[in-house]
Amino acid sequence: MEQRLLTTIIRENSIKYGSRVAIFYQKNDKSWTPITWTALWKSIENTAKALLACGIKPGDGVAIMSRNMPEWTIADYALQLVRAVSVPIFSSTSVAQSKYMLNETETVLIFVGEQEQYDIAKQLVTDVPSLVKLIAFDEVVKFDEGIPSMYFSAFIESGKEGDFDARLVSLEAEAEKEDLCTILYTSGTSGEPKGVMLSVANFLYCLHIHDLRLTVSDKDVSLCFLPLSHIFERGWTFNVLSTGMTNYYLRNPKEVVDVVKVVKPTIMCSVPRFFEKTYEGVNATIAKSSALKQKMFKWAIETGGKRLDYIWNNKAVPFGLSATYAIADKLVLSKGRAALGGNFRFMVCGGASLSIDIIHFFEQVGIHIKVGYGLTETTASVTCLLDDDINTNSVGKVMPKLEVKIGENNEIMVKGGTVFMGYYKKPQLTAEVFKDGYFCTGDAGRLDEKGYLYLTDRIKDIIKTSSGKYIAPQKIESLLTGDKYIEQITIIGSERKYVTALVVPAAAGFDHLMSEMGIADKPKEEQVKLKAVIAFYQQRIDALQKDLSPYEQVKKIVLLPAEFTIQTGELTPSLKIKRRVVAEQFKAEIESMYSGD
């Protein structure tokens, strides 16, 4: 691995590729605008100079709270040039959580994307003593009087007023791969966010092992639509730009299914929800089509499946089947690929598990999905499928030059250059997750003799939604059970689209409510199913969770007539909820909250 910094690689690429397009982004009219490699590097340098003009010093915390825009990445690299520390914050993070993160990191400056993020950030000025300025990427943002604010374009111009070239050269000479690059916050089991410290070396090692595993080139095109504040898209973007690929930045991720048809990417990283939505959409379309089209589709998919059976078993595909597949591909399957642009070589999927049936469907259509497993603490990838891995329930083979072993309670343990530096200002918590030099992931699994990892359970209670967002259920449960109408609550959301809850009403409060509603004479089994009662509880919960981020908030509830108990098996002897038991016993109730979506 060459001894270079992430910024060095980008500068070298700017010289190598010059006027070639590095980045495309959408204007407000949705048209795609290019940024050349030369212009990209110039913007990074000018942003770095503006940071110096603003008084940013090595080690200072600077937050980035924005949806995906080129300015996000430009600021990211510029912060590395001046040896400052980036603190990415999800664009929809609540004021309360943002306040905690910015205060802990003593953030000096915050870059915000649009009005929504500005409106959150402006509330932090008085509560975060270290915060001195807000910089808005989008120039349609309306500033408030009395809030120290500036547009990104004006901020860059401020750096041109002084002579900072010598200072940048000096800072680069002093820079080391071991420098703290970023602090990424993830939810802890107690609900208090943990700042994961990643060094420049962590990212460089991540690039190295991906170079050994993935076949990519500077001719590839990628679409950046997952949040850059998440390690998955962030690390992938470093990989894309370091390799010289062209990167399209999509500000609104909800538009991804339509945008891929226009951008026609060859590779990109994604989460299960993207594949699930696409799969659901195809099936819905086919269900509405004529009987002939339905029959043709079924035939084509089955033909693709037969061909894959030979490939899975390392056997030559018979000539007759190859000819039949060619017809099926021309008439049906190629149109399926065209719905996703038609150019995909492969797609990387992480963040949560993906059904093997959906994987097979995409493989039959001709799109290879590289399922992987990783955490923020491991700079994303720990495992990833190989090019010819298709028929497997594993989450891939261990990445080159990483060590993975299975510890007590089948816990997955990782050692290698991508493992994080520790949790920011939490030395005790850091010590607790390391054993014999290995990071203890909190996930349970098994390794087969070929080095493929299979996830079997989650030791920790952290919930991960199908879009890859981490949620601490205990925090939400503690918040909501403080209400006089709620006795017990179990948060649901693992590998689901959104968060829901099973709620056990508090006896006294519930009985009083029933009397007020004039329905005290009805059986409790009927009372908990009444729309008016459910609406009352949902309103209570909505009010209580207003400071939670949107992806943490409970969207739907089911009221239960009886408490969870040790005797009925839902509680441990120490009165902790057995989540797997509850999920199984109330499977029908849980599915009812997600049906029809």
- pLDDT by residue (tens digit) across 42-98? 999 999 999 999 999 999 999 999 999 999 999 999 999 999 999 999 887 888 889
DSSP string, 498-555: SEEEEEEE-HHHHHHHHHHHT-TTS-HHHHTT-HHHHHHHHHHHHHHTTTS-GGGSEE
Rounded distance, CA 37 to CA 77, Å? Answer: 14
On the question of a common fold for 272-458 and 472-592, the answer reads: no
Contact 109, 63 (CB under 8 A): yes
Rounded distance, CA 43 to CA 37, Å? Answer: 10
Task: Measure Cα distances from 499 to 375, 420, 551 in Å.
Answer: 21, 29, 7
- pLDDT by residue (tens digit) across 150-205? 999 999 999 888 889 999 999 999 999 999 999 999 865 445 789 999 999 999 99
Give the model's confidence band at 318: pLDDT under 50 very low, under 70 low, under 90 confident, else very high. very high
3-state secondary structure of 405: strand
Other C-beta atoms within 10 Å of 362: how many?
23
Rounded distance, CA 404 to CA 467, Å? Answer: 25
- Name the least confident of 88-97, 457-466, 506-515: 457-466
Contact 81, 44 (CB under 8 A): yes
Task: State the number of CA atoms in the 13 A half-sphere of 320 facing the CB.
Answer: 0
Q: What per-residue confidence (pLDDT) applies to 458?
A: 66
Cα torsion through 584, 586, 587, 592, rounded to 10: -170
Nearest in space to 484 (alpha carbons), one of 523, 522, 533, 541: 541
Q: What per-residue confidence (pLDDT) applies to 574?
A: 45
Q: What per-residue confidence (pLDDT) applies to 188?
A: 53
pTM of the model: 0.82
What is the per-residue burial (b if ≥16 Cβ within 10 Å, else e) of 455-464?
A: beebbebbbb
Residue 120 phi/psi, 5° resolution? -75, -50
- Name the least confident of 58-62, 119-123, 394-398, 565-569: 565-569
**Residue-level length of the chain:** 597
The DSSP code for 329 is I
Q: What per-residue confidence (pLDDT) applies to 295?
A: 94
Q: Could you give the residue ranges of the DSSP H alpha helices within 400-519?
A: 427-432, 473-480, 507-517
Domain boundaries, the chain: 6-175, 272-458, 472-592
- CA 574 to chain centroid: 34
Rounded distance, CA 88 to CA 76, Å? Answer: 9
Residue 329 has pLDDT above 60, yes or no: yes
> Percent of the chain at pLDDT above 70?
96
Cα torsion through 476, 479, 484, 487, rounded to 10: 40
Which token pair is 85?
């520390």
Q: What per-residue confidence (pLDDT) applies to 215?
A: 94
Residue 453 has pLDDT above 80, yes or no: yes
- Amino acid at site 85: V
The DSSP code for 145 is T
Give the model's confidence band at 460: pLDDT under 50 very low, under 70 low, under 90 confident, else very high. low
Q: Could you give the residue ranges of the DSSP H alpha helices within 367-465?
A: 427-432
Contact 325, 310 (CB under 8 A): no
Contact 505, 450 (CB under 8 A): no
Rounded distance, CA 356 to CA 28, Å? Answer: 39
Rounded (10°) angle between helices 319-328 and 291-312: 140
Rounded distance, CA 528 to CA 495, Å? Answer: 27
Q: Could you give the residue ranges of the DSSP H alpha helices within 214-318?
A: 231-243, 256-263, 272-288, 291-312
CATH architecture of 6-175: 3-Layer(aba) Sandwich (3.40)
CATH of 472-592, picked from 3.40.50.10330, 3.40.50.720, 3.40.640.10, 3.30.300.30, is: 3.30.300.30
Give residues with Cβ within 8 angstroms of 447, minimum separation 6.
398, 404, 405, 406, 453, 454
Residue 2 has pLDDT above 60, yes or no: no
3-state secondary structure of 355: coil
Residue 6 phi/psi, 5° resolution? -60, -40
Other C-beta atoms within 10 Å of 584: how many?
11
- Name the least confident of 62-66, 91-95, 110-114, 143-147: 91-95
CATH architecture of 272-458: 3-Layer(aba) Sandwich (3.40)
DSSP string, 288-306: HS-HHHHHHHHHHHHHHHH
Give the model's confidence band at 1: pLDDT under 50 very low, under 70 low, under 90 confident, else very high. very low
